[in-house]
Copies of this chain bind each other. A is one copy, B any other.
Amino acid sequence: MLVVMRADATREQIEAVIGRIKSDGYDVHLSTGVERTLIGIIGESPTPLREDNYSTMDGVDQAVRVTSPFKLAGRNFHPEDSTVHLKGVSFGSRQKIAVIAGPCSVESREQIIETAHAVREAGATALRGGAFKPRSSPYSFQGHGELGLEWLAEAREQTGLAIVTEVMDPALVPMVAQYADMLQIGARNMQNYTLLNAVGVSHHPILLKRGMMSTIEELLMSAEYILAQGNWNIVLCERGIRTFEKYTRNTFDLNAIPVLKDISHLPVIADPSHAVGKWEYVEAVARSAIAAGADGLIVEVHPRPDEALSDGRQSLTPKRFKSMMEQIRQIAQVIGRGA
* A contact residues vs B (CB 8 Å cutoff): 2, 4, 7, 27, 29-36, 38, 40, 42-44, 48, 50-53, 55-57, 61-62, 64, 66-67, 69-71, 76, 134-141, 168-171, 188-189, 191-194, 211-218, 221-222, 224-225, 228, 241-248, 251-259, 262, 275-276, 279-281, 284-285, 287-293, 305-313, 327, 330-331, 333-335
11 contacts between A and B (CB under 8 A): A35-B42, A48-B140, A50-B309, A52-B306, A55-B313, A69-B137, A211-B213, A242-B244, A252-B254, A285-B292, A327-B335
Contact B34 A43 (CB under 8 A): yes
Among B43, B51, B67, B287, contact of A313 (Cβ-Cβ < 8 Å): B51
Known: A31-B29, A38-B40, A310-B52. A254 touches B285 (CB 8 A): yes
Q: How far is the CA of A10 from the CA of B258 in the complex (A)?
A: 25
Contact B171 A171 (CB under 8 A): yes
| Copies of this chain | 4
Contact A246 B246 (CB under 8 A): yes
* Closest B residue, CB atoms, query A277: B255
User: Nearest 10 CB-CB pairs, A to B?
Assistant: A213-B213, A33-B42, A29-B31, A288-B288, A291-B291, A52-B312, A258-B284, A31-B40, A287-B291, A188-B191
Q: Nearest chain B CB to A192's CB is how many angstroms away?
A: 5
Known: A170-B170, A255-B281, A335-B287. A247 touches B33 (CB 8 A): no
Contact B67 A35 (CB under 8 A): yes
Q: How far is the CA of A69 from the CA of B247 in the complex (A)?
A: 13
Q: How far is the CA of A26 from the CA of B223 in the complex (A)?
A: 42
Q: How far is the CA of A311 from the CA of B136 in the complex (A)?
A: 30
Known: A138-B225, A189-B192. A308 touches B52 (CB 8 A): yes
Known: A66-B36, A67-B36, A134-B191. A213 touches B285 (CB 8 A): no
* Neighbouring B residues of A188 by C-beta, 8 Å: 191-192
* Neighbouring B residues of A193 by C-beta, 8 Å: 134-135, 138, 168
